[in-house]
Every structure is written in structure tokens, then in C-alpha cells.
Chain A
Amino acid sequence: MNGNPYLEAFAWLGDPTHWSGPSGIPMRTLEHLGYTVLGVAVAALIAIPLGLFVGHTGIGKGIAVTAAGAARALPTLGLVTLFALMVGIGLTAPMLAFVILAIPSLLAGASSAVESADPATVDAARAQGMTEWQILTRVEVPLGMPLIVGGFRGATVQVVATAMLAAYVGNGGLGRYIFLGLGSQDYPQMIAGSVLVIALALVLDLALLLTQRLTLPRGTRPA
């Protein structure tokens, strides 16, 4: 290990043997992406309905805000370790942590999306004879979609950056390179793993940013 570890990291990334097989970069990236998508999806199943409910009714808003804030403050590594001690090595422990990590952004996005609808527009929709469900699905959600996607964006970036912790308790993903490198003091490999995680996070962020733009309802886009 001599020379510049950053240059060596790029050499490591360029090595074709690292781009094939079950521990190759494409496979590890897919695993990493899989953990992220699964974590965010499970969190969304909980947080989106809850956020829409809180936003539409205003019920439990204080509790939701407090809980989301508290969840944000939890140290993820600590959570992963704690859950691993409770449920054992495997995917369950990190996944639980990712879900808890993703919920606050999704919850805040969904509830603020609903709240952002102009009260006069909502009142008009109600006065025309829309049911509360129709107001939610035909007015509040379409108008607030960019904010909902914004919640997904925040959650995804956080989970993708944290998903390397899955490898800490015996799973795959890009974290494997980081923890392998850490164990063997192979800094180029560690850096390469980090660069890959960063690149993946940037790509996902950009993709969701574009989605956010696309979900801006026609008629409300600035001309």
C-alpha cells in the first residue's frame, strides 16, 4: 500500500475483475439498490397513508411531528446493532433501521403535501360535492405530488447512504467493500466503495428530482 490511495481507488474501480461475479460491482450495486428500495417502500406503506391522514384531518399532527423529529435523531448504526442483537444477523435488523430512518421524510412530505393545498380550493371542492376521499385523491394529492416525491427523495438519499450498514451485520451491498477494506486496511477498496455509494446516491437524487419536476401538475407550472 504505497502511493496515492485515491488514485489506487480508481485503479481498483477500473479493474475488470471487480465488475463480474456475485461480489462484483454490478451485483453489489443491485443489492444496495434493493435494500434501499425495500426500506423506503416498507416505510412508505406506513408513512404515506399516515401522512395523508394527518395532513387532511389535522388529527395527531403534534404527535406526528414530534415522533418524526425523534426518529430523525436516532443514530442508525446504534439501531442496526441493537436490532441485530435482538433479531440476529441478517437483513431484518438493518431493514428495520432503514424503515425507521425513512419514515420521517416520507411522513413530513405526505402531510405537508396535503396541507399545502390552498384552503379556498379545498373548500370549493367540498362545496361542489366532493367526498373527503375525493378531495384527498383528486385535489390535495395531485396538487401536492411534488412534495410527496420530495419526501421520497429525502428518504431515499438517507437510506441509500446508510444502506452500507447492512454489510456490517453480514449482508451484501456496496457496504461490503467498505467493511472489507476496513478490516484489511485496504483503503483504496474502502474509498472505491464510498465513491460507489456516493455515485448511487447522486443518481437516485437526480432521478427523483426529475420525477418531482414531472409531477408538478399542469396548470400550476410557472409559464
Chain B
Amino acid sequence: MIGFENVRKEYPGGTLAVEDFSLEIASHEALVLVGTSGSGKTTLMRMINRMVDPTSGRVHIDGDDVASLDPVQLRRSVGYVMQASGLLPHRTVLDNIATVPVLRGTSKNEARRRAHELMETVGLDAALARRYPGQLSGGQQQRVGVARGLAADPNILLMDEPFGAVDPIVRRELQQELMHLQRDLKKTIVFVTHDIDEAFLVGDRVVLLKPGGVIAQIGTPQEILSDPADDFVASFVGADRGIRALHVERVDGRDVVVDADGRAAGVLESRAAAGRGPAGDGPTGESTRGGQPISDQPASDTPTGGQPRGATSP
């Protein structure tokens, strides 16, 4: 468990990044901090591995105040996946992935062997092992970044806009694979993004931040969509513009879910017919948001402008 207690961060010169932030993150949950720039989301995440020390307040991991831990040892025990990968340009893919285990004293051979396994885990062709980061595509680099973050098998994985620098198609692919990975690995993930769709896709819980690290709303994607706390949240998730509003139209005996622009988002199935997992291979229309099948929705007519739970949870 990760806990923030009345955390405040003020930079010299008086910039107030975080005013007074408290939060508890359960073990094995994927928590997303989402907000615009200046919301302090990255600052908060970096307090967990002491890349940033709070001006006041406490951050603890499983009861230990991180301020009492050696920052170097702490960072080696927490996975960190960064924006634009942050790979070492002069080291091969394999050695980049092996970085943390080698720092922790694992032999180079053992670390490389494990790095090979991780390449497979994150869907990287083994032929890329000897390449340098500069020879990879953006998507491949991010996969290497994820593999490096997982290499020491940390309980906690920090992800700082990890898919921000790749094109939307690759981003969607990486997001899906992260969710598959998380289903197996059950890490405690703290994920930072400014993309609300990504937040709803990845997060078990989502924390919506206003400037200064002020929490606008905490909840599951469903809770936030169905009951935005205020206008700020409604505007951030797009509910005020009708972006999230879906309705059902009956076409040839099937319920078709249509978005506010009249585009088909998917087909509504009865719960009995949809016994598959939430990210299974249910029917998805070409404009389905979030890429998740809408198979959990009980077949019932939902009025236009309503916010059917599940149907809109991307």
C-alpha cells in the first residue's frame, strides 16, 4: 500500500506544485493520476520513489516513510517507466532492460537471460536484443521501457505518461497489452496521464487533479462518468459536451449503441450472451471509445443523454 499524508510541494521561488494531498493506494490496484499540466500529477508520482521530496507531509510504502529509506535502494525496488522511454542510448536493448538487476548485483549473464524473457513478455522480437534504442520505433522503445521497469520484478510500477510519445494506434496497442500484463502480474501501478480516455482504460481507480494537486474526484471510471463531482470533472471527462452520451437504437432486431454524433459505437448484447471477460473479444464497432467491448451492459433502452454504466466505460 502506498499512502500520501498531507503532502505539500513548494519549489524555491514560491511555485506551489502540490498544496495538500492525501491518498491511499491499495496494493495491486492500477491507480491513474490524471490532470492537465500544472496539476502536480508527475510531482506526486515521483515522490513515491523520492525523485521528488515533499516540502511537508509524508509518503509511505507499506508503512515505511520513504524519507527514511535510502533513495538509491528505493528507486531500484520501484519500477519506473518514463515518457519517451528514457532509455540509455549507448546501451543495447538487452542491457537497457538489464539495468536495474545489474545495479542490484545480479550477474550480467543472469540479468540478460531474464531480459530475454521480458522481451517476450512485452512483445518484442528477440532479434532486437542487440539493437540500440535509436534503431527502434517509438512503440518498440516504449516496450523496452516497460520491460526495464519490470526487470527487477518490483511490487510497484510508476508510469509517467509512458505512451504519450507514440501514435494513437500504437498507443492503443500498448495500453491493451499493459492491461493484459497487469491481469497476470497484479502490480501496484501508479500511472500518470493527461488523457482521460487512457485514464479510464487503464485505471481501476482514477484521481482527477486540478492545478496544485487538488483532488477534483476519486473513483472508478464508472463512478466518475455516472456522477461527476462538479463542472470541472464533467468538462474534463467530456460529459458536458455530450461526448460520453450514448443511446441505443434498434436496428434489425439488435440494439446498436450510438454516440452523440450518431455514429455506431457497438452492439448491445444481453448479459447472458456475453459471459466473456471485460477485455474479451466482444463485438466492437469502429468508433467504440476506449476499445473495450460493451458486452456487460444489460439490454435495456437508455435515453439519449443518459450515461449507461459500463456502456461508456472505455
Contacts and interface: CB of A to CB of B under 8 A. Distances in A.
B82 A127 contact: yes
B49 A127 contact: yes
A88 B51 CA distance: 56
B229 interface: no
Contacts of A217: 89-90
A152 to B, nearest CB: 20
B55 interface: no
A223 B87 CA distance: 18
A223 B80 CA distance: 29
B132 A131 contact: no
A139 interface: yes
Contacts of A139: 88
B145 to A, nearest CB: 9
Contacts of A127: 46, 49, 51, 75, 80, 82, 86
A129 B76 contact: yes
Given A219-B134, A220-B134, A128 B100 contact: yes
A128 B99 contact: yes
Contacts of A123: 51, 82, 86
Interface string B36-72: 0000000000100101000000000000000000001
A71 interface: no
Given A127-B46, A217-B90, 5 more contacts: A121-B88, A124-B86, A124-B88, A129-B104, A143-B89
Contacts of B244: none
A99 to B, nearest CB: 32
B203 interface: no
24 contacts: A121-B86, A121-B88, A121-B89, A123-B82, A124-B80, A125-B88, A127-B82, A128-B76, A128-B80, A128-B99, A128-B100, A129-B75, A129-B76, A129-B100, A129-B103, A143-B89, A217-B89, A218-B132, A219-B90, A219-B133, A219-B135, A220-B89, A220-B90, A220-B134
B46 to A, nearest CB: 8
B5 to A, nearest CB: 23
B86 A120 contact: yes
Contacts of B80: 124, 127-128
Nearest to B90: A217
Interface string A99-129: 0000000000000000000101101111111
Contact of A130 (B82, B87, B103): B103
B91 interface: yes
Given A219-B134, A220-B134, A129 B73 contact: yes
Nearest to B104: A129
Closest 5 CB pairs of A and B: A124-B86, A219-B132, A129-B76, A217-B90, A129-B75
